[in-house]
Amino acid sequence: MDRVRKYRVGGHVMEVELEQPWRFMEYTPAVKARIEAASRGEEIPVMPTRAGDEVPARTFVQSALELPEGRTRGDLDFSQYEPFRCEDDALPMMKLKIFAREPEWLGREMADGTISLVLKVDTRPPFYYIYSRGDETIYEFDSDEQYHIAGTLKVSADGRSGEYYPKPGFGPHTTMFHISTSLMMLYTYATSCHDTLLMHASVVRYDGRANLFLGVSGTGKSTHSRLWLSNIERCDLVNDDNPVLRIEDGVLYVYGTPWSGKTPCYRNLRVPVNSIVRIEQAPRNEIRLLKGLSAYASVVAAASSIRWQRALMDSVAASVEKVIGLARCWTLHCLPDPDAAALCFSTVCKQ
């Protein structure tokens, strides 16, 4: 049974290693068919999940009926990653090992103050605490903002290696949620200096080019994507929460990823970028072009970064400067209606 798999996301390879009793889940034929279609970049029959919508299953395993026979609490559902699986001999940029239990040193060093608190992040799930351990960084993931720690991630000094330790009593679903968070963090560490940005955005493709919709949570990114998909022909959804932007040979591309928030859209795609649009709620619909500092501020606010580490933040800032030189940036003040989508479309896709 394999314990190591590799996935290529945004052109960069991640390696995941499982310690017993963890194992990669086996998939039923229906789930395998969805994975294979997504690996080919085929359109996935889902619509962006808006605030207040019923949240669908967030993996390609869509119901208990699609779980494999004989599964155990050690089976981890990596189906959202499988469309990005790559060759076993690919050289990984980052590695994450999932352990069965916590190491002895963790509790001891937490108790004696060897590990010092740097920051608490509690604006929205996942909630976590950040600690310094020499040149390493420790993240404790809180299951409910009440210091019920579900697991711990240790990140190496160079940001390319991580170890995840689950707390006893938490099952595979919670463990998998925090493994995904850990992989996103490692991805940010490892790729920030390679003209790569993990973004908080919803992405729609029209006529072969991608349009990214940015904005703080709750402003209507998914709603706006849904309006495009419902009212504009030849549109499809690339990703609904965490796409990757990457500059390659002077061209800006957006990639689908295994991370798409509440919408299970995990397509192995690379699409050239047409526009970047920041969504803001307003009593009327209007759009304007952003330049210079205004464009930079819109994009950098949506880029994942390790903001308490200067070198990584400098790399993100440099990449954002390149991005705004390669794609037109706009701000759309709008209502959640078809007219907003029509205005946006006619402006960003017809000029």
| Confidence label for 351 from pLDDT (cuts 50, 70 and 90) | low
pLDDT of residue 308: 77
Is the CB of residue 333 less than 8 Å from the CB of residue 303? no
Look at the block and give the residue holding tokens 């963890």. 22
Higher pLDDT, 173 or 339: 339
What percentage of the chain exceeds 70 in pLDDT? Answer: 98
User: Collapsing DSSP states into helix, strand and coil, what is residue 46?
Assistant: coil
Calculate mean pLDDT across residues 162-187. 93
Domain boundaries, the chain: 4-26+68-191, 196-348
Parallel/antiparallel/unpaired status of strands 12-18 and 4-9: antiparallel
Distance CA 218, CA 124 (A): 12
pLDDT of residue 1: 64
Distance CA 256, CA 210 (A): 11
Position 173 pLDDT exceeds 80: yes
Q: Mean pLDDT score of the chain, rounded to an integer?
A: 94
What percentage of the chain exceeds 90 in pLDDT? Answer: 80
Position 344 pLDDT exceeds 70: yes
pLDDT of residue 66: 92
pLDDT digits (tens, 9 = 90+) for 154-171: 999 999 999 999 998 888
DSSP 198-231: EB--EEEEETTEEEEEE-STTSSHHHHHHHHHHH
Taking Cα atoms as reference points, which of 245, 323, 227, 210 lies closest to residue 11? 245
pLDDT of residue 145: 58
pLDDT digits (tens, 9 = 90+) for 58-109: 999 999 899 998 888 899 999 999 999 999 999 999 999 999 999 999 989 9
Calculate mean pLDDT across residues 318-338. 97
pLDDT digits (tens, 9 = 90+) for 237-292: 999 999 999 999 999 999 999 999 999 999 999 999 999 999 999 999 999 999 99
pLDDT of residue 132: 93
Provide the CATH topology of domain 196-348: Rossmann fold (3.40.50)
Distance CA 77, CA 243 (A): 21
pLDDT of residue 169: 85
